[in-house]
């Protein structure tokens, strides 16, 4: 695995009003790395994820992608976002477009690919997330797990440098969690750079190169999954793990 820094956050701070949601965040995600961010709710992990493609602005600090600082707005920002895939908790598929149209929209309108080429590639990706037979349905006709797999295909269609997953399984019925995690595990093993905010500890153990533990807007601990889960150093992490692993 190469260790070129792809996403770098330096001294990032953000407030929501009086609430200091991100405190002096330093984080480097290397190319090909899978970083799983965990922590109690309200710890700022989703916000952290969303700052990387500037769905959330930051108050201070620097975020760079592939060595380039994030543009504040306009076309430069749009171009940057096309390099950063995003998968949301609530799927956020375009309700008025079919599965296939959801996947081809970005390639056609942003990457200016031809329709035929974009559709061929989209079908490959839908095959890969095991949902090609639903290509002509609308999102509302699919289950949550199916919708989320389409959302992953939509992100992949842009050939992103990194994909951000913001609690991708939190809105799913339990029996659908696995099908989404399977797709994500495949991606991880194929070398996709991923930042994953999740409560799925099994996935973190299995697929992550590194676990980042956040609490109260700070990165409290960073380690390999093995080290982190068997031997957490901080009290906050010990406390958190004891709460989620005992039941």
Partner 1 sequence: MEAFLSNIDRVVDGFSWTVRLTLISALLSFVLGILLTAMRASPVPLLRGIATVYVEGIRSTPLTLVLLFCGLGLNSALGVALADSVQWDVFWWAVIGLSAYTACFVSESLRAGINTIPLGQVEAARSLGLTFTQNLRLIVLPQALRTVVGPLGSVLIALTKNTTVASVAGLGVQEASREMKLMFDQGVAPVLPTFVGFALGFLILILPTGYFFNWLSKRVAVVR
Contact residue for partner 1 among 55, 123, 132, 241 (CB under 8 A): 55
Q: Which of 187, 203, 86, 207 is nearest to 130 (CA)?
A: 187
CB of 91 to partner 1, least distance (A): 8
Q: Which residue has the tokens 């939509």?
A: 154
Residue with smaller CB distance to partner 1, 77 or 241 = 77
In three-state secondary structure terms, 182 is helix
The sheet with strand 60-65 has its strands ordered as: 19-30, 5-16, 60-65, 68-69
**Residue 37 in contact with residue 13, Cβ under 8 Å?**
no
Angle CA(63)–CA(191)–CA(187) in degrees, nearest 5? 100
Of 48, 86, 212, 237, the residue at the interface with partner 1 (CB under 8 A) is: 86
Q: Of residues 82, 170, 178, 223, which one binds partner 1 by CB under 8 A?
A: 82
Whole-angstrom Cα distance, residue 187 to residue 128? 10
Per-position x/- string for 89-118, each x denoting binding to partner 1 as judged by CB under 8 A, each - no binding: -xxxxxxx--------xx--xx--------
Helix (H, G, I), strand (E, B) or coil at 67: coil
Q: Which x/- pattern, by CB under 8 A, does the window 13-52 give for partner 1?
A: ----------------------------------------
Binding mask 121-140 for partner 1 (x = CB under 8 A): -----------------x-x
Binding site for partner 1 (CB under 8 A): 53, 55, 73, 75, 78-86, 88, 90-96, 105-106, 109-110, 138, 140-141, 151, 154, 158
């Amino acid at each position: 695995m190469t260790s070129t820094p792809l996403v770098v956050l330096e001294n990032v701070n953000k407030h929501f009003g009086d609430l200091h949601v991100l405190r002096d965040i330093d984080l480097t995600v290397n190319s090909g790395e899978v970083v799983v961010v965990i922590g109690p709710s309200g710890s700022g992990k989703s916000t952290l994820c969303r700052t990387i493609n500037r769905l959330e602005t930051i108050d201070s600090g620097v975020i760079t992608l592939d060595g380039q600082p994030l543009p504040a707005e306009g076309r430069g920002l749009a171009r940057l976002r096309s390099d950063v895939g995003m998968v949301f908790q609530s799927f956020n598929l375009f309700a008025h477009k079919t599965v296939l149209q959801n996947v081809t929209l970005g390639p056609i309108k942003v990457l200016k690919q031809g329709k035929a080429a974009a559709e061929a590639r989209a079908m490959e990706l839908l095959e890969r997330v095991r949902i090609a037979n639903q290509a002509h349905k609308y999102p509302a006709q699919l289950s949550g797990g199916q919708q989320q797999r389409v959302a992953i295909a939509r992100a992949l269609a842009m050939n992103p440098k990194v994909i951000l997953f913001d609690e991708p399984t939190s809105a799913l019925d339990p029996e659908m969690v696995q099908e989404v995690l399977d797709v994500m595990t495949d991606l991880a093993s194929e070398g996709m750079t991923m930042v994953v905010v999740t409560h799925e500890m099994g996935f973190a153990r299995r697929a992550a190169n590194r676990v980042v533990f956040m609490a109260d807007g700070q990165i409290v601990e960073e380690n390999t999954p093995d080290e982190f889960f068997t031997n957490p150093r901080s009290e906050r992490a010990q406390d958190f793990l004891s709460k989620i692993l005992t039941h």
